Amino acid sequence: MMCPASSSRWCPTPEQLMILEEMYRGGIRTPNASQIQQITAHLSYYGKIEGKNVFYWFQNHKARDRQKLRRKLSKEMQQQQQQQHQLPQIQQQNQQNHHHHLLHYLDSPPPSALQPLYHYNSATFLPQMGIEGASPQRMNYMWKVDIPESNDGMVEEKSKMRMYSRDNWMMMVDMCPTSPCCSRPLKTLQLFPITATNLKEESTTSTQFSCPTTTT
């Protein structure tokens, strides 16, 4: 259950996992670089973690969710085929389309369901209430964003790296020393609404984090 302290791969703590799953349920699928940054910083409070771990987690989780659904669907299809051995062409096609549509469900699930906690769209990561003004849920979530102090010299050091994310690049030296956690002073920064009030305006003022807008 515990990770051997110096493992070759990241092994999420229960808290980290919980939060990630919450985010996923909340609709996050392919966080972009700054989102990853923020999530990483946030989760690093609960244990060692790097940006790539967050990235891969979402990547894998989405893919496996999809594949799970796909398997379920194909199984259903098999059952159906056993009942109605052969169908006219057109109906078959409709079925295909139906399934294809269902798979797209995973791209961003219907917001109306039960995602009480996280309310940001994946494009901006800014607080975003349920568009219809839903969710009075208060969360008190703070995001700790790591402000890199003057980092001169040596491009190298330990540059564990890999890139990927959504929407834009940001190669960025990962100078988090992979060490324990919460090592440096972090600038705390509110990204989530304490209450769901006065948020309509915020969307104009808080351009703190680059919002390339429409992720589609």
**Tokens standing for residue 157:** 């050091």
Q: How far is the CB of 100 from a copy of itself (least distance, A)?
A: 25
Contact 11, 3 (CB under 8 A): yes
* Closest to 124 (Cα-Cα) out of 196, 45, 202, 21: 202
Residue placing its CB nearer to DNA in the complex, 70 or 199: 70
Task: Kindly state the DSSP code that residue 189 receives in the 8-state scheme.
Answer: E
Residue 91 near which of a copy of itself, DNA, none (CB within 5-8 Å, type-dependent): none
Question: Contact with DNA (CB under 7 A): which of 53, 124, 128, 135?
Answer: 53
User: Smallest distance, Å, CB 137 to a copy of itself?
Assistant: 27
- Nearer to a copy of itself by Cβ, of 74 and 159: the residue is 159
Give which of a copy of itself, DNA, none residue 16 binds (C-beta under 5 to 8 Å, depending on kind): none
Nearest to residue 188, comparing CAs of 8, 41, 26, 31? 41
Secondary structure (3-state) at 181: coil
Phi-psi domain of 138 (left: phi exceeds 0; alpha: psi -120 through 50; beta: other): beta
HSE-CB of 117 using CA atoms within 13 angstroms:
12
- Tokens in use for 153? 């010299």
Q: Which of 132, 156, 204, 216 binds a copy of itself (CB under 8 A)?
A: 156
Give the whole-angstrom CA distance, residue 63 versus residue 155. Answer: 34
9 touching DNA, by CB under 7 A = yes
Size of the site for a copy of itself (CB under 8 A): 40
Instruction: Indicate which single residue of 6, 78, 83, 150 sits in contact with a copy of itself (rule: CB under 8 A).
Output: 150
Which residue ranges make up the site for DNA (CB under 7 A)? Answer: 1-4, 7-12, 17, 30, 52-53, 56-57, 59-64, 66-67, 103, 107, 162, 164-169, 215-216
Which residue ranges make up the site for a copy of itself (CB under 8 A)? Answer: 32-34, 36-37, 50-52, 55, 145-153, 155-165, 167-174, 208-210
